[in-house]
């Protein structure tokens, strides 16, 4: 079977390369990435932002933002920036230009106002062994964008109870947790406290911890022996008051009688 001649003849390969140069294919497809994909900052806070691309040889790249930015590292397909001095919600843009085509990737930065106060209250503060008491913990104001807040009640170092709140709305919110328990004798030797954990790892941050002031619970023991002592004491006090009242009545009665006798004696004279 005769060999089929290439349409470019002896100049097949050079002609094919020339054709590719004169008639280029479609523009190179590439992607732009930004990390983290979510970010929250406290006022005046800072964070690292990484811009990268799948383009092998980008023509140009950078980060567009109103925040203060510093280039801290770079490679052919990536750049890393430190952004700082955040004061309000904003948007930053990573951009790369590849074969004359530019693409952007944006990142929303939201402001975070973590809990400033974690308050704890014991009700009542005095309780008998076996009696019930209530621990209430609340955070008056917390502003988080889609964060996760967990309140944990502690007896000493032991976690008694916890509750996680999914903050699905923006703006100041209040979080409260209440737990009832039976008093044990050893409870009087431990501090009670409440810890608020704001988990912002999904937003490029860490877990923020806040702890309440510790509170003490006074626990008294009403055992049968103690109850008997209390009963005897109460009865003794009541008996003493009863005897005292009789003596006072007798004294006042004698005094009143003597005064009357004195009056009648004067009249007889």
Q: DSSP character for 242?
A: H
Residue 15: the pLDDT is 44
Interatomic CA distance for residues 87 and 109, integer angstroms:
10
For residue 207, the model assigns a pLDDT of 84
Indicate the helix (H) or strand (E) that contains 141. strand 132-142
Q: What's the pLDDT score for residue 43?
A: 86
Query: Class of 29-111 per CATH?
Result: mainly beta
pLDDT tens figures, 87-96: 888 999 999 9
Q: How many CA atoms lie within 13 A of 130 on its CB side?
A: 3
List the domain boundaries for the chain.
Answer: 29-111, 119-220
The whole-number pLDDT of residue 73 equals 95
Residue 3 phi, psi dihedral angles, 5° rounding: -70, 135
Burial class (CB in 10 A: 0-12, 13-18, 19+), 40: buried
Instruction: Write down the residue that tokens 């941050």 correspond to.
Output: 205
CA 245 → CA 237, 239, 240, 250, distances in Å?
Answer: 12, 10, 9, 9
CATH architecture of 119-220: Sandwich (2.60)
Backbone CA torsion sign across 261, 264, 268, 269: positive
Of residues 266 and 108, more confidently modeled? 108
* pLDDT at position 116: 79
Give the mean pLDDT of 203-222: 85
- Give dist(CA 138, CA 151) in Å, integer: 8
Torsion of CA 127, 128, 129, 132, to 10 degrees: -50
Highest mean pLDDT among 9-13, 76-80, 186-190: 76-80
Question: For residue 187, what pLDDT is reported?
Answer: 87
> What pLDDT, in 10s, does the model give residues 227-241?
666 677 778 888 888
| Highest-scoring range by mean pLDDT, 10-19, 76-85, 107-116 | 76-85
Structure-model confidence comparison of residues 186 and 233, the more confident one: 186
Beta bridge partners of 48: 82
Lowest mean pLDDT across 57-71, 75-89, 170-184: 170-184
In 3D, which of 85, 120, 253, 103 has the Cα closest to residue 192?
A: 120
Express as a percent the part of the chain with pLDDT over 70: 78
What is the mean predicted confidence (pLDDT) over 127-148? 81
CA distance 263 to 237: 39
- Do 29-111 and 119-220 show the same overall fold? yes
Listed in sequence order, the residues at least 6 apart from 148 whose beta carbon sits closer than 8 Å to its beta carbon are: 164, 165, 166, 167, 198, 199, 200
* HSE (side-chain half, CA atoms, 13 Å) at 80: 7
Q: d(Cα 49, Cα 72) in Å, to the nearest integer?
A: 10
pLDDT higher than threshold 50 for residue 247: yes
Mean per-residue pLDDT of the chain:
81
Report yes or no on whether pTM surpasses 0.75: no
**Greater model confidence, 47 or 264:** 47
Q: What are phi and psi of 137, to 5 degrees?
A: -130, 140
> Which 3 state secondary structure label does DSSP give 150?
strand
Average pLDDT over residues 169-192: 84
């Amino acid at each position: 079977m005769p060999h089929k001649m290439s349409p470019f003849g002896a100049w097949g390969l050079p002609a094919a390369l020339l054709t590719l140069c004169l008639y280029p294919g479609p523009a190179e497809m590439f992607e732009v990435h930004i990390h983290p994909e979510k970010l929250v900052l406290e006022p005046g806070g800072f964070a690292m932002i990484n811009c990268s691309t799948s383009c092998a040889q980008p023509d140009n790249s950078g980060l567009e933002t109103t925040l203060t930015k510093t280039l801290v590292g770079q490679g052919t397909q990536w750049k890393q920036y430190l952004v700082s001095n955040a004061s309000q919600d904003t948007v930053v843009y990573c951009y790369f230009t590849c074969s004359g085509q530019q693409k952007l990737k944006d990142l929303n930065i939201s402001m975070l106002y973590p809990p400033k106060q974690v308050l704890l209250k014991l009700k009542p503060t005095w309780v008998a062994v076996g009696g019930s008491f209530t621990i209430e913990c609340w955070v008056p104001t917390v502003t988080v964008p889609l964060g996760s807040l967990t309140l944990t009640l502690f007896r000493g170092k032991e976690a008694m109870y916890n509750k996680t709140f999914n903050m699905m709305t923006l703006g100041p919110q209040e979080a409260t947790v209440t737990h009832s328990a039976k008093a044990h004798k050893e409870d009087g030797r431990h501090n009670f406290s409440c810890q608020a954990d704001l988990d912002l790892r999904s937003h490029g941050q860490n877990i923020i911890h806040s702890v309440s002031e510790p509170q003490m619970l006074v626990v008294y023991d009403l055992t049968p022996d103690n109850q008997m002592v209390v009963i005897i004491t109460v009865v003794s006090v009541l008996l003493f008051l009863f005897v005292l009242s009789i003596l006072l009545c007798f004294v006042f009665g004698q005094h009143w009688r003597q005064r009357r006798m004195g009056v009648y004696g004067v009249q007889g004279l």
